[in-house]
Chain A
Amino acid sequence: MDALIYTAMSGAERALHAQQVHANNLANLDTPGFRANMELATSQAVSGGYGYDGRHLGALQANAVSGREGAVRQTGRDLDVALAGPGYLAVQWQDGEAYTRAGAMAIDPDGALSVSGHPVMGQGGPIVLPPYTALSIGADGTISVQVDGQAQMQVIDRLKLVRADAADLTKNEAGLIVSRTGDELPADDTVAVRGGYLEGSNVSAVEEMVATMSLTRDFEVQMKLYKAADGMAEAGNRLIRE
C-alpha cells in the first residue's frame, strides 16, 4: 500500500486528539481557576524503510498550560481568594504539593481549609483555623481571624503562595498544576491575593471556537487524502485487471 495513506492517518489522528483538548477547554469555560491546556503539532521524520526523506508524520504534543489570567469577579465570600497577577496557591496532593488558582476555599468542622478537597498549605503545613467570628485575608495571604469573645483580630497563618513560569509547569492527572521537574516550589513574597474575589477560567472562547473550526477542516483535508490514496491504489488494480 502507498505510504501516503499512513502519513494522512497521522494527520487525521492528530486533529482528532487536538479536538479533545479544545473540547476539554470549552467544557471548563466556567471552572474557577481553570488553566487552558495548549496543544501543538510536531513533525516526526520517518527514517528507514522505503520512501522519500520528505515523509514526516504529524504528532500531537499537549501538556502545556496557558499562564494567562482569567476574569476576576467579586463574590463577597470571606474564604474566596483570587491571585492578583501571576502566582499559585499551594495545596497538599498525595505526599507532596500541587498548585492551583482555584481560590474557593471550604472549611470543615475541624477548621481545616481545603480547595476541592485538597488541604490548603500554610507556612508550615495544612492550615487549620480556630472557631472564629470574623475572618480576613490580606494581600500577602495572611489569614487573620477574630476569635470568639476577643476584640482584636489575630494572625493565624499565611497562605503559601508560589510563582513559576508557565513554561515550567504542567498539570497532573487530577488537573492540579505541578512543576515539570516534580520539585516543590518555594514560597514567593511578591505574589498578592485578593480576599472576597474569585478568578474564573482563563479559556478564551473565541480562540477555542476558531481552533475547533480549523481542526474540523484539517480533518476533512486528511479525509480527502485518504480518498486520493484509495483512488490511486484502485487505478493500479484496474491496470492489472485489463
Chain B
Amino acid sequence: MNPALWISKTGVQAQDAKLQAIANNLANVNTAGFKRDRVMFEDLFYQVDQQPGAQRDDNTVTPTGVQLGNGTRLVGTQKVFTTGNVQTTNQSLDLAIVGSGFLQVQRPNGDTAYTRAGQLNVNAQGRLVTAQGLSIVPEITIPNNATAITIGENGVVSITTAGTTAPTEVGQLTLAGFVNPPGLLAVGDNLYLETAASGAPIEGNPGEGALGKLKQGALEGSNVQVVEEMVDMIAAQRTYEMNTKVLSAADSMMQYLSQAVR
C-alpha cells in the first residue's frame, strides 16, 4: 500500500498524544505544585533507497540519492521544572519552596516520594502530613497544646504554647534535590519517585545550595501557562487536520490506481 498512509498515521498519532498532554496540563492549571508536561517528538529513521555517490557507469556517479523518512515518533514527555506562581495564603502550614528542592514524604508502602506541593496539615496523631495524609520525612509531631506554628526559612519548625513567650523547637524539615529533576517519575497525587535517570536525592536543610528556602504562608501554584497551552492546542489540532488531509490524498491516489485497472 501507499507508504504515505502509514507516515501520516504517525503524524496523527503524535498530535493525539500531544492533545492528551495539553488537556492534562490545562486540567491541572489550579493544582498546587504541578509541573507542566512537554511532549517531545523526533523524526523516525530514514530508509536510503539510493545512496548518493553510487556508480552509475564507469565515469559518472549519482550526485544525489533518495532518502525517504518514515514519520514522527513521540520521544517522551518531559516535566518542565520552572517555578510556578507563588501565592500568599497566610496559612501557617502552607509552604512554598523557593528553589529546586522537594519535600520528602513517606508512601503507605514505606517508600520515600518527593513533592513540591506544600499544603501541609496536622493529622489526628499530631504529625505533619501532606494534603493526601502522607507523613513528612523526617517525621515532625506538633503537640496539641500548640497555639502557633512557625516554620523558618531554614526549615526549623517551632511552636509557642499558651502561657509561654519563648518558642519551642519541635523539628527540622529537610529538602531533597536532584541532578536531573525531569528524570523523576511522576506518579500522580503531586508525587514524584526517584529513578536511575534522576540520580540519587541530595538531602539537605532548606537554604543550602540550590535546594531553596521555605516560605511559610505561601503556596507554589501550577506552572501551566494557559495562553501557551491554548496556542499549542490550536497548533496541534491543525497539524492533526493536515495529516489527515495527506491520508485522504494518499487514499485518492490508490483509488485512481484501482480504477485504472479494469
Contacts and interface: CB of A to CB of B under 8 A. Distances in A.
A binds B: yes
A64 interface: yes
A148 B101 CA distance: 13
A20 B259 contact: no
B250 A21 contact: no
Nearest to A213: B249
A34 interface: yes
Contacts of B48: 173
A180 B67 CA distance: 13
Contact of B40 (A19, A104, A109): A104
Given A108-B180, A133-B210, A180 B71 contact: no
B41 A30 contact: yes
> How extensive is the interface on chain A, given as a class?
35 or more
B242 A175 contact: no
Task: Kindly state the interface size class of chain B when it binds its partner.
Answer: 35 or more
Interface in A27-67: 27-32, 34, 37, 60-64
A132 B250 contact: no
A174 interface: yes
B43 A23 contact: no
A225 B57 CA distance: 31
B67 to A, nearest CB: 4
A149 B18 contact: no
Contacts of A22: 4, 246
B64 A61 contact: yes
A21 B69 CA distance: 6
Contacts of B2: 16, 19
Interface of B: 2-4, 7-8, 10-11, 14-15, 18, 38, 40-49, 52, 64-72, 75, 78, 80, 82, 100, 179-180, 182-183, 196-200, 202, 209-210, 235-236, 238-239, 242-243, 245-246, 249-250, 252-253, 256-257, 259-262
Interface of A: 12, 15-17, 19-32, 34, 37, 60-64, 75-77, 102, 104, 106-111, 116, 131-134, 148-149, 170-175, 180, 205, 208-209, 212-213, 215-216, 219-220, 223-224, 226-227, 230
